[in-house]
Amino acid sequence: METTEFTIKPSDRILKLPKYIFAELDEWKEEARAKGVDLIDLGIGNPDGATPEPIVESAIESIKKPSSHGYPSFRGKLELREAISDWVKRRYNIDIDPKTEIQTLVGAKEGLANIALAYTNSGDINIVPDPYYPVLSRGTWVAGGKIHHVPLLAENDYLPDLDSIPEAVAKKAKMFIINYPNNPTGATAPVWFLEKMVEYCKKHNILLVSDLAYAETCYDGYRPPSIFSIEGAKDIAVEFHSFSKTFNMAGWRVGFVCGKQEFIDVIYAMKTNMDYGTSTIVQDAAISALNCDIKHVQEIMDKYNARREIVAKGFKKLGWEVKRSSATMYFWLKVPKGYTSKEFCKMVMDKTGVVFTPGIAFGEMSDDHFRISIVQPPERLAAAIVRLEDAGIRFE
């Protein structure tokens, strides 16, 4: 019997997506571990440590209830949306209507992808600074849109130069997506810059999407402002929040977006057609998180702050110019001359077992940097510095 080979090609939108560098990084690590290498993984920003106990206990109680075992609501439990509204009021002194201005999410990443699908037609332009958290651009590409990347430069404190954006791009743009405190650079956005962003997006009729995933990951008394602290922002903006870093809940997959009902209803419409809401069990845990003693959040941030000092001092000793950021869990450092970011990170991993993320993972303009995540205990961070020093890895 003759055998017929079938070739069923994926869609163009999948074939045209750049390779996801984090997947390649996983392949590197699997290969190294198969050889018995003891890796110190400072690559992916996956928080270590347990979720605070009161949050876990709430989930355990919820899972015992048969009412938690059915399909969750699309919008999210009203109790959770009320807890979110109360938390936003406490943290930012901003009023958000829990019934109409909040949409719960299966993690902020899901929501950031869905808003691109909800607002982007084929050929539309969205504006995204480079470097960027991958989904901020990839959501638009999957939707068939185009991205205008604005470079984030150290000399501009990693803030986009709005004057550099061509007027033709501004006139056609549907969304402008920003992420401050910023992954991967660690940069923060002052109030004056957020005011300029709101003014710019109003002028050009652009939806301003603020990714505030690192709202609580901050140090030295710094508090990142909400976009809604800017007068008039609610007319033109939405803001995304995540529980992953604030409460060590990365694996729970829960977040939310808030903003004017007009925008929230569009995201809701996309979600109702694509998925269900967040698990009721996870929602109950999220309610507990928002109402828990702030000491639990502070303990997590104190842990990162201590690690920040180890990494800053260690890499300065190795020749790097290191600037301590007031927020996030990252360091964004230059790649030594003669290497691409992938070449440098692969060489370091092969020689030392220390894993970094190459800057190219965050955009074509970022191949001259690499990212360090402070997601290992102090003794492992100290060991990573020793390994680098012993292997002669320096910035010269």
The answer on 339 and 255 residing in a single domain is no
Say whether both 178 and 270 belong to one domain. yes
Domain C-terminal end among 257, 291, 325: 291
Residue 5 counted as domain residue: no
pTM tops 0.85, yes or no? yes
What's the domain range around 372? Answer: 12-41+295-390
Report the pLDDT value the prediction gives residue 342, as an integer from 0 to 100: 95
Distance CA 7, CA 9 (A): 6
Please identify, among 291, 307, 334, the residue that sits at the C-terminal boundary of a domain.
291
Structure confidence at residue 331 (pLDDT)? 96
CATH number of domain containing 329: 3.90.1150.10
Indicate if 79 and 171 belong to the same structural domain. yes
CATH number at residue 214: 3.40.640.10
- Domains: count for the chain: 2
Q: 143 with 274, same domain?
A: yes
Domain co-membership, 232 together with 335: no
Same-domain pairing of 143 and 286: yes
* Residue that finishes a domain, picked among 291, 311, 342: 291
| Pair 248, 301 in one domain | no
- pLDDT recorded at residue 22: 83
State residue 166's pLDDT score.
Answer: 97
Q: Are residues 260 and 302 in the same domain?
A: no
Residues 321 and 203 in one domain: no
pLDDT number for residue 136: 94
Same domain? 219 vs 246:
yes
| 204 & 77 share domain | yes
pLDDT tens, residue by residue, 194-232? 999 999 999 999 999 999 999 999 998 999 999 999 999
pLDDT value, residue 177: 98
Q: List per-block mean pLDDT (blocks of 10 residues) for the chain, which spans 396 residues.
A: 74 81 88 94 87 96 95 94 97 96 95 96 96 94 95 96 96 97 96 98 98 94 95 97 93 96 96 90 97 91 94 96 92 96 96 96 95 95 97 90
Q: What tokens does 282 get?
A: 């996870």
Residue 1's pLDDT is 57
Query: What pLDDT does residue 3 have?
Result: 66
